[in-house]
């Protein structure tokens, strides 16, 4: 095998001396062409005794791979060097890099989380694919409730569905049995809504929950008032309107004074002076019993609000679909 070793050493030295693509092509032909040095060695393989062919053939293949890889590496090296030497003009002005930015919905969500964190709430997450138990049953939603219908909910099969709200996260947190609990659960939710300027089948919600000794409706009102004043300004006022939610009792819709007109009436609030922001209420005792918490000892409140709703009001966007179309002309404004 001495001749093959010498041929390999010769190739290595000649390859190191190559500084141009044309010279590299000549080197390839010298070794791998029809009359190349290695090609001739391969042709001679057929005349060897059968006992010598396997070892000789393996050595020739190894040398061929070495030559091919060496040429390929050298070609990449020369190509890169050539590109850098011909494209770099230090007299040209520099290019400003394009910087990315957070999606407007994520900007609003981060602001919401920041406010609640400053009030002592922790951020919890949960699966977007849920079971009917966590999404409905554990939240005291009866079997006949229209929210369970296939017309309103995306069912994957009999056992799983896409969550319709982030409220199931509160059940998973309460099941840990680590009280008191002060948490928010932001995330995507899914409902069978036909897309229009104010509805979309996917949107973002923030669920809030506080369970402790002696929690009252006044605590709920104080928490939401502090939140919306941090969000819209210190002059913001809130009001509660009686409502029904299966997992809270009593329940209420929450309105805030229009941050644009201060309650005087404008196009944003449709001249009403108030903006509807979401639902709230005291945690129904049945929900607490379902997770082995004594409602005689522990009480709590829950609330929910929509990120898209806040973003549309905050930025003056009149069509929720704009947040999901990924139109750079729209997104660059934020």
* 10-62 pLDDT, tens digit each: 888 888 888 888 888 888 888 888 888 888 888 887 788 888 888 888 888 88
What pLDDT sits at residue 82?
61
Q: Is residue 270 domain-shared with residue 180, that is, in the same domain?
A: yes
Residues 80, 142 share a domain: no
Mapped onto helix, strand or coil, the DSSP state of residue 262 is coil
Q: Is 42 in a helix, a strand, or coil?
A: helix
Query: DSSP string of 283-303?
Result: EPHHHHHHTT--TTT-EEEEE
Q: What is the DSSP string of 159-186?
A: S-EE-SSSTHHHHHHHTTT--SEEEEEE
Q: Are residues 173 and 271 in the same domain?
A: yes
- Residue 254, beta-bridge partner list: 240, 278
Residue 93 lies in a domain: no
Both 133 and 194 in a single domain? yes
Same domain assignment for residues 255 and 137: yes
- Higher per-residue pLDDT: 24 or 304: 304
Domain coverage including residue 70:
2-86
Match 């609990």 to its residue by tokens: 181
Q: What is the mean pLDDT of the chain?
A: 89
Residue closest to 280 by CA, chosen among 246, 232, 248: 248
**In the chain, how many domains are there?**
2
pLDDT tens-digit profile of 112-162?
Answer: 999 999 999 999 999 999 999 999 999 999 989 888 999 899 999 989 999
Query: Does residue 97 sit within a domain?
Result: no
Are residues 294 and 185 part of one domain? yes
Say if residue 171 is in the same domain as residue 69.
Answer: no
- 191 and 271 both lie in a single domain: yes
Q: CB-based contacts of 109: which residues, under 8 Å, 6+ apart?
A: 186, 204, 206, 307
Do 158 and 295 belong together in one domain? yes
Question: Are 17 and 76 found together in one domain?
Answer: yes
Q: Which of 300, 51, 56 is nearest to 179 (CA)?
A: 300
Q: Supply the pLDDT for residue 271.
A: 77
Lowest-pLDDT choice from 48-52, 75-79, 95-99, 179-183 = 95-99
User: Reading across the β-sheet that carries 202-212, which strands appear in turn?
Assistant: 122-123, 181-190, 202-212, 299-306, 274-283, 248-257, 238-245
pLDDT at 87 over 80: no
Same domain, 53 and 108: no
pTM of the model: 0.68
Q: Is residue 99 part of a domain?
A: no
Dihedral of CA 241/242/247/248: which sign? positive
Cα(39)–Cα(77) distance, rounded to whole angstroms? 25
| Residues 212-271 pLDDT 10s | 999 999 999 999 999 999 998 898 999 999 999 999 999 999 999 887 777 777 776 777
Instruction: State the CATH number of the domain containing residue 225.
Output: 3.30.930.10
Sign of CA dihedral 4, 6, 10, 13: positive
Does 91 map to a domain? no
Encoding tokens for residue 271? 């001249």
Going from the C-alpha of 229 to that of each of 110, 160, 238, the distances in angstroms are: 16, 39, 9
Distance CA 43, CA 286 (A): 88
Lowest mean pLDDT: which of 85-94, 235-244, 272-281? 85-94
Question: Which pLDDT value is given to residue 138?
Answer: 95
**Token pair recorded at residue 319:** 């069509």
Domain end: 59, 86, 113, which one?
Answer: 86
Mean pLDDT (whole number) for 81-109: 78
């Amino acid at each position: 095998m001495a001749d093959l070793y010498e041929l390999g050493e010769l190739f290595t030295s000649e390859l190191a001396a190559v500084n141009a693509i044309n010279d590299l092509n000549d080197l390839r032909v010298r070794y791998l062409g029809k009359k190349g040095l290695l090609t001739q060695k391969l042709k001679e393989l057929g005349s060897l005794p059968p006992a010598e062919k396997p070892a000789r053939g393996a050595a020739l293949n190894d040398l061929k791979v070495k030559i091919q890889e060496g040429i390929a590496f050298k070609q990449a090296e020369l190509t890169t060097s050539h590109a850098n030497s011909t494209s770099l003009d230090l007299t040209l002005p520099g290019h400003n890099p394009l910087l990315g930015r957070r999606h407007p919905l994520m900007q609003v969500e981060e602001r919401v989380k920041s406010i609640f964190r400053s009030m002592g709430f922790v951020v919890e997450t949960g699966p977007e694919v849920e079971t009917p138990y966590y999404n409905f049953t554990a939240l005291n939603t009866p079997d006949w409730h229209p929210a369970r219908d296939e017309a309103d909910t995306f069912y994957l099969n009999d056992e799983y569905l896409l969550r319709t709200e982030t409220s199931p996260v509160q059940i998973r947190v309460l099941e840990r049995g680590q009280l008191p609990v002060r948490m928010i659960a932001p995330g995507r939710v899914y409902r069978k809504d036909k897309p229009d300027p104010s509805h979309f089948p996917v949107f973002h919600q923030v669920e809030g929950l506080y369970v402790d000794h002696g929690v009252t409706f006044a605590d709920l009102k104080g928490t939401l008032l502090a939140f919306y004043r941090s969000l819209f300004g210190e002059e913001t006022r809130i009001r509660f309107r009686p409502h029904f939610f299966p997992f809270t009792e009593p329940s209420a819709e929450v309105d805030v004074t229009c941050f644009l007109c201060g309650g005087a009436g404008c196009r944003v609030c449709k001249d009403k002076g108030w903006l509807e922001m979401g639902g709230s209420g005291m945690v129904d005792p049945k929900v607490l019993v379902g997770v082995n918490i004594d409602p005689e000892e522990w009480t709590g409140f829950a609330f929910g609000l929509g990120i898209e709703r806040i973003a549309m009001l905050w930025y003056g966007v009149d069509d929720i679909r704009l947040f999901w179309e990924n139109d750079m002309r729209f997104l660059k404004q934020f």
